[in-house]
Amino acid sequence: MTNTLAPDARRTFRDRYRRWTTPRPDGLPNRAVVGVPLGILGAVLVALVALGLTGSSTGVVYDLIRQGEDPALIAGEPEPIRSDEWFVQTSWVISQVEQDLPPRNETFPGGMDATVQNDLPTTDWSTLLRPHLWGFFFLPLDQAMALKWWLPGFAVIAAGYLLSVVLMPRRPATAAALSVGFFFAPFFQWWYLSTTLYPAAWAFLVMATAVWCLRSRRRRGAWVLAAVTAWTTAAMAVGVYVPFIVPVVLVSAAFVIGAVLTPGDESLPFRRRVGRLGPLFAAGGAAAVVMVVWLITRLSTIEGFTSTVYPGERLQKVGEGGWSELAQLFGGFLSFDLGRTAGKPFAMNMPEASTFFLPGVFLVFVMAWLLIERWRAERRADPVSIALLAVGAVMLAFLFVPGWDAIAHLLFLDRTTSSRLRIGFGVLSFVMVLVVGAALDGRRSRGAGRGPWWVSVGALLVAAASIGMVIWRVHRTGGLAAYLDGISGAEAGLGVALALLFLFSVLAFARGGVTAGAVALLTVSIVSGLGVNPLYRGVLDLRETATVQAVQQRDEQEPGTWVGITSSSLPTMMLVESGVTALNGFQGAPSAEMWAQIDPTGAAEEEWNRLGMVSWVLGSGDPAPRNPYPDQVQMTFDACAPFAQEYVTWVLSETPIDSACATLSDTVQEGPTTMRIYEVQK
């Protein structure tokens, strides 16, 4: 009886699943396919926020202030290389909380515009454009930090899922696997910031909204999506990180142009198709108005940032890439090992070496074959596929073909870099998987079959060749034996398994097995990206340390300006988070008042007029700045120098200070670290 009922049960499940996923008459996904998975995703987000869980690496300094195991660390290890998150952003966020979320943070003398740099919560109206920061107005710090951490990432999953079911409405499970796998891409995990994640979410939303506008006969859904797109446009734009924005804008623009040029089932004239994009155009216009207002109201800050020596207005020449850049682009199967190799031999660190798994790029052969077949059968082109192939060619040309800098400048491509351009290839690969998958689904529904094997094998062989090229490049740059030195047999086996599983995903997508390919891609992405960031309970709040409390107590008794003498990141983080006036911290647009005090003649402007971390070490005489790295400004401090005598009241130091002008006020034993507070004697 079991053998008789099992097939019937499976058929019943398939029938119910087909009914549940039946598209609307216009071909768009039904309400349940859109709403149920997104509702589940929202519930997971609420749970993570309620528990106060983040992927923060602030625990990297725990061993400096406490003995034993960090009780907030649930799984994984903090990543020191993620200093943009744990050293820069989180310290300034806590400083904002300490100062009651002012639009202008008063840590640096002269203050810092907190509405532009470092993704900070403020009481300024522009925080309405940053929903991931809203929790700081009504949630405890740990829960607010959890919302800040997860919302941009979940926006990528939600937008990727929406685009997937818009193009493949009968495949919600496949869409979920693809979007979650995309979120776990090593590139996102190593660059995990809202400035990286929102551009991808925006691109998916723009493409999904465009298709919805073109297909839907009812306008309400189109206007709702357009409103969300407008909001996401503003959220992306206020991040002001152009190198990640430009590539995804090019990919989404190419897709939308192709979609408008596609007649569709109704064969509407071109003018009518453009008219249907009215909600999307309105969204773009509204977002543009908001952004113009935002830019005008903080123009001086933006001008100060763009006029810095570093990064200033950085432009990259076209065609400067080579085999190394190509290996970085296609080296996803080695991403699981970036922590051990510290990004070598691909780049100077793990984020710069990280990339996406790019099965869609190898579907070029399948897409080209589909284009030819469609032309032969119907004498019609596929504008979407042509546009995607064109934008992919443009991005590759930017990396490897010199001589067209003027055109690249018009396209804003020279505002990005070869490593940042990978986000464009990641989004392009995702979309190409969907377009090819939808086309092959359509062929099967018409009884046309999957297509010839030689096309699929061609895609597989090129993907295998890319893996071979990466291995060859590793051998040429440092030696394969040296690369494998220290890796265990199990880890080497894992690398081989990931490469094979990735090749399987390419073959599956090429044959129309979108679900199998999505599951394989989800697996390699999770294995390669899941362990990058730890699972952490909230953040490490240094305001709870005895040192910061002593700093705040001394400053209340005698307010003044602080300097932190650093041999680690700890004094800078403590001063920033304490909320006192200090000369340490990561600066965006340099404070004119602060640097007029430090360098009144402007003789050292080349060294300090840059985006970077300002820190201090002991020295003689007035401050003498130097740049250990382009984004670091290291100053020397002498308590007897005229600058210190006039402007500095307190010094927080990890090392003893032997100076007639500095009197020890307090010594605090912070775990294994001894922190000293000195008062400058006038």
pLDDT tens across 210-232, in order? 999 999 988 889 999 999 999 99
Of 533, 561, 589, the one marking the end of a domain is 533
Would 62 be classed as within a structural domain? no
SS3 sequence, 99-122? CCCCCEECCCCCCEECCCCCCCCC
Q: Is 569 within a domain? A: yes
Instruction: Decide if 235 is inside a domain.
Output: yes
Question: Is 653 inside a domain boundary?
Answer: yes
Please indicate, yes or no, whether residues 558 and 418 belong to a single structural domain of this protein.
no
The mean per-residue pLDDT over the stretch 438-457 comes to 86
2 band by pLDDT with thresholds 50, 70 and 90: very low
What whole-number distance in Å separates Cα of residue 207 and Cα of residue 51?
34
What's the rounded Cα separation, in Å, for the pair 615 and 266?
64
Beta bridge partners of 105: 112
Which one of 471, 503, 533 terminates a domain? Answer: 533
Give the pLDDT score at 305.
82
Residue 215 in any domain: the answer is yes
pLDDT (0 to 100) of residue 1: 42
Residues 6+ apart with CB under 8 A from 606: 309
Domain edge (last residue) among 483, 502, 533 = 533
164 belongs to a structural domain: no
Cβ-in-10-Å burial (0-12, 13-18, 19+) of 559 comes to exposed
Instruction: Let me know whether 509 and 551 are in one domain.
Output: no
173 pLDDT tier (thresholds 50, 70, 90): very high
What pLDDT digit, counting tens, does each position of 31-71 carry? Answer: 999 999 999 999 999 999 999 999 999 999 999 999 999 99
**241 and 357 belong to one structural domain:** yes
**If DSSP codes are grouped into helix, strand and coil, which group holds residue 565?**
strand
Identify whether residues 598 and 524 lie together within a single domain.
no
Residues 505 and 557 in one domain: no
Q: Are residues 616 and 481 in the same domain?
A: no
pLDDT, position 491: 87
**pLDDT for 625-639, tens place per residue?**
999 999 999 999 999
Q: Is the same domain home to 554 and 652?
A: yes
Dihedral sign for Cα 589, 541, 567, 655, please: positive
Retrieve residue 273's tokens: 């198709």
Which helix or strand (DSSP H or E) is residue 652 part of?
strand 650-653
Give the domain extent around 581: 542-680
Average pLDDT over residues 594-609: 94
Dihedral sign (CA 626, 628, 629, 634): negative
The pLDDT, as a whole number, for residue 525 is 97
Please tell me the predicted confidence (pLDDT) of residue 9.
Answer: 65
> Percent of the chain scored above 70 by pLDDT?
98
Say whether both 277 and 311 belong to one domain. Answer: yes
With respect to residue 614, please indicate whether it lies within any of the assigned structural domains: yes
Q: What is the pLDDT of residue 83?
A: 93
Number of structural domains, the chain?
A: 2
Angle at 522 between CA 516 and CA 524, to 5 degrees: 105
Task: Tell me, yes or no, whether 422 and 308 share the same domain.
Answer: yes
Q: Which of the four pLDDT bands, split at 50, 70 and 90, describes residue 7?
A: low
Rounded mean pLDDT of 310-335?
88
CA distance 288 to 135: 26
Residue 134 has pLDDT above 80, yes or no: yes
Task: Encode pLDDT of 517-568 as tens digits.
Answer: 999 999 999 999 998 999 999 999 999 999 999 999 999 999 999 999 998 9
Q: Are residues 319 and 374 in the same domain?
A: yes
Whether 597 and 528 share a structural domain: no
Give the burial class of 640: count Cβ atoms within 10 A of its Cβ; 0-12 exposed, 13-18 middle, 19 or more buried.
Answer: middle
**550 and 490, same structural domain?**
no
148 domain-assigned: no
What's the pLDDT score for residue 12?
A: 79
Mean pLDDT of the chain: 93
Mean pLDDT of 659-682: 95
Once rounded to an integer, what is the mean pLDDT over residues 268-274? 86
